[in-house]
Amino acid sequence: MRQYRQVTGSILCLLLLMITAFWLLPSYAAPSEQNTTTVLFTHDLHSHFLPQIGENGEETGGYGRLMTVLEEQRQKYPDALTLDGGDFSVGSLIQTLYTREAPELRTMGAMGFDATTAGNHEFDHTGLGFAEMLLAARQSNEVLPALLMANYQPAPENPDQLDIQRAMAIYGVQESMLLERGGVTYGIFGLMGEDSDACTPESGFLLEDPVQAAKRCVERLKEQGAEFIICLSHSGTNEKESKSEDVQLAKKVDGIDLIVSGHTHTTLIEPIIVDSTYIVSAGPYCENLGSITLSWDENGKTLVDYQLIPIDENVESNPEVDQLVQSWKEQVSKTYLAPFGLAYDEELTQSAFPISEPERGVQEGNALGELVSDAYLWAVQQAEGEDYVPVSLTVIADGVLRASLPSGSLTTSQAFDVLSMGVGADGSSGFPLVSCYLTGEEIWNLLEVDASITPIMPEAQLYCSGVEYTINPRRILLNRVSEANFVNEYGVAIPIEDDQLYRVVSGMYSAQMLGTVKDKSFGLLSIVPKDANGTPIEDFSEHIIYRPEGGELKEWYALASYLQSFGEEGVPQSYAQSDGRKQVVPSLNPIELFKNPNRMTIVVFVVVILVVLLVVYFAYRARKGRRYRRRNSFF
């Protein structure tokens, strides 16, 4: 009997163990559910509705071609999301319809974009222009992408605050959104970066700390049931990790699965992976469509596929989108271009060679910059006629040049593309030319910005007409211009007199930046734009140059009319390369190192002499002390 009980007990124990294992096994060994996410992405489209012709005649971009590739990818990935990282406006003539027709958002809606965020260029027409664009888009009654802005709101002191907030509410601008696709709930939010905000001082908006806003959005989206979180960030990346805002964002904020990174125009051949966050960029101007596919579960993510799909002449264009873009072109010619007497595709002249944008960060002369600065001078002479007041110097900054000129036919739209930034005091697209006066000393300081600030801030590189100068990068910082002279129309060099006032012409944006030089150089370089009487300028809108027919003399029109003046002969061969008006000559020759010293060099000399004198003095005192001690020890 006892033996029977033992056997029965053993069997019961075994059964209990089996039952326990049966119930524990599913929770312990069951695999996590695998999900697959595909995101199609763009950023920095900059109103590039139409293909752009490259230096060698190749074509890139165009929304008709983009639509074709989008459709192909959606067939391959039916549950794909289509997202954009901001700066969808400003970069072609169609942007001139921005406030009245909102062609950018309406076309993105027609192409099936799910969501976008605002970049700095969405505020080129100020916050009120942004609001007008939103209302125009909503009044179209068309399908539009969601617009997500988590950390950018009109400032309380902005007089248009209520109107802007009303427009944002009517459009449906929100911090974040939930989007269900393919059985997955996605949480998506949009961010404005710190550098982006700094690039739009006229927005009238306040920036909330991106990290703080991102943490709030991630927490809220997870509470609402988001399984996969995407940030549309107009912050960007940088080769230097400390300056890479989106890399820092990924490090400081847990829970972001994917960052679509815009603003810096970066093309990432491979995603940047920070912990469990993937950062992607497809490059600007609709050159590529980005596509990323991730497999994921609660244990992590695996990259399945990542592509940058070229949008080029090998892609057929979608006829429906082409028709929509054509309608925008016709409106531009009838409205914006008519007062200038030009048409969208009108040929201005021919060029036997491409004229390229400056290479960012390379400190040298550039033919395009020189062509544009010469165009400013020519256009002012034509506009003022008999009332022309001699201009000593015209200047343009590297950051304003937005496109190259190809060889072959040069059209109105291509001239506009080169200088497409900004809005004038008249509320229309394009910065106007403005006039101011600087002393000769300030002109030396202006050239020193090009010489000393450019290596730190490439967009500050300058191109001028009316002056020739030499930069020696081996000289003391803020005194690297070793020689500078004005050059008259006959090519004769004329000395720059420190105390004399000289007339200077530039685009409004570049001119406004002149007044910030003192702060950016810690007070070591001072430039104060003045009127003809030497009174500091407070409002550049009072110093805009106008065309004889009326209307602002826009930067782009100065270039277009200058090109048109070349006629059938085409662009002169002298613009095939830099003509040497700016020379960068590294030299350790003592004469070249120290000639034409400015205040900075003199201060350094004084400091060096004082240090040497102090060293000599203390050495003398030490030597004298040793002699004294020897004499005392002898006695």
Q: Has residue 333 been placed in a domain?
A: no
Residue 255 sits in the same domain as residue 377: no
Residue 315 sits in the same domain as residue 371: no
Report the pLDDT value the prediction gives residue 54, as an integer from 0 to 100: 81
Report the pLDDT value the prediction gives residue 629, as an integer from 0 to 100: 65
Report the pLDDT value the prediction gives residue 627, as an integer from 0 to 100: 65
Give the residue from 62, 49, 35 showing the smallest Cα distance to 228.
35
Partners of residue 504 on adjacent β-strands: 393, 436
Extract the tokens encoding 355: 């004229």
CATH code for the domain in which residue 403 is found = 3.90.780.10
Q: What is the mean pLDDT of the chain?
A: 90
| Angle, alpha carbons 70-74-77 (nearest 5°) | 135
CATH code for the domain in which residue 284 is found = 3.60.21.10
Partners of residue 303 on adjacent β-strands: 294
Residue 309 sits in the same domain as residue 360: no
pTM of the model as a whole: 0.86
Report the pLDDT value the prediction gives residue 526, as an integer from 0 to 100: 86
Picking from 276, 303, 319, the residue at the C-terminal end of a domain is: 319
Report the pLDDT value the prediction gives residue 601, as an integer from 0 to 100: 62
Report the pLDDT value the prediction gives residue 17, as an integer from 0 to 100: 42
Q: Has residue 192 been placed in a domain?
A: yes
Residue 350 sits in the same domain as residue 304: no
Report the pLDDT value the prediction gives residue 363, as an integer from 0 to 100: 83
Report the pLDDT value the prediction gives residue 628, as an integer from 0 to 100: 60
Picking from 319, 336, 359, the residue at the C-terminal end of a domain is: 319
Give the residue from 587, 593, 579, 598 showing the smallest Cα distance to 364.
579
Q: Has residue 303 been placed in a domain?
A: yes
Residue 60 sits in the same domain as residue 199: yes
Report the pLDDT value the prediction gives residue 457, as an integer from 0 to 100: 80
Q: Has residue 623 been placed in a domain?
A: no
Q: Report how far residue 172's alpha carbon sits from residue 353's, in angstroms, rounded to the nearest whole number.
A: 48
Extract the tokens encoding 22: 């049966």
Residue 266 sits in the same domain as residue 405: no
pLDDT of residue 5 exceeding 60: no
Q: Give residue-wise pLDDT tens across range 580-591.
A: 999 999 999 888
* CB 123, CB 152: distance < 8 Å: no
Extract the tokens encoding 508: 């409004």
Report the pLDDT value the prediction gives residue 625, as an integer from 0 to 100: 67
Q: Has residue 12 been placed in a domain?
A: no
Q: Has residue 212 been placed in a domain?
A: yes
Instruction: For residue 450, give the amino acid letter.
Output: D
pLDDT of residue 20 exceeding 80: no
> What's the 3-state SS for 462-493?
EEEECEEEEECCCCCCCCCEEEEEEECCCCCE
Residue 425 sits in the same domain as residue 296: no
pLDDT of residue 387 exceeding 50: yes
Residue 234 sits in the same domain as residue 350: no
Q: Has residue 312 been placed in a domain?
A: yes
Report the pLDDT value the prediction gives residue 28, as an integer from 0 to 100: 39
Partners of residue 153 on adjacent β-strands: 206
Residue 352 sits in the same domain as residue 310: no
Segments in 516-575 forming alpha helices (H): 517-520, 555-565
Give the residue from 472, 476, 564 showing the smallest Cα distance to 524.
476
Per-residue buried b or exposed e for 31-45, using 16+ beta carbons within 10 Å of the residue's own CB: eeeebebbbbbbbbb
pLDDT of residue 460 exceeding 90: no
Q: What average pLDDT does range 395-424 have in this prediction?
A: 94
Q: Return the higher-pLDDT residue of 329 and 488.
A: 329
Q: Give residue-wise pLDDT tens across range 481-505.
A: 999 999 988 889 999 999 999 999 9
Residue 398 sits in the same domain as residue 544: yes
Q: Report how far residue 71's alpha carbon sits from residue 334's, in angstroms, rounded to the nearest whole number.
A: 32
Residue 302 sits in the same domain as residue 355: no
335: Cβ contacts below 8 Å, ≥ 6 apart: 96, 97
Partners of residue 267 on adjacent β-strands: 282
Q: What average pLDDT does range 274-297 have in this prediction?
A: 97
Q: Give residue-wise pLDDT tens across range 64-89.
A: 999 999 999 999 999 999 999 999 99
Report the pLDDT value the prediction gives residue 80, as an integer from 0 to 100: 98
Give the residue from 430, 354, 362 showing the smallest Cα distance to 398.
362
pLDDT of residue 26 exceeding 50: no
pLDDT of residue 21 exceeding 60: no
Residue-range definition of the domain harbouring residue 579? 345-584
408 phi/psi in degrees, rounded to 5: 100, -150
CA pseudo-torsion sign 501, 502, 506, 510: negative
Q: Report how far residue 510's alpha carbon sits from residue 433's, in angstroms, rounded to the nearest whole number.
A: 10
Q: How many domains does the chain have?
A: 2
412: Cβ contacts below 8 Å, ≥ 6 apart: 93, 337, 342, 343, 344, 345, 346, 348, 560
Give the residue from 317, 294, 297, 315 showing the smallest Cα distance to 306.
294
Q: Give residue-wise pLDDT tens across range 142-188.
A: 999 999 999 999 999 999 999 999 999 999 999 999 999 999 999 99
Q: Return the higher-pLDDT residue of 192 and 617.
A: 192
Q: Has residue 152 been placed in a domain?
A: yes
Residue 313 sits in the same domain as residue 376: no
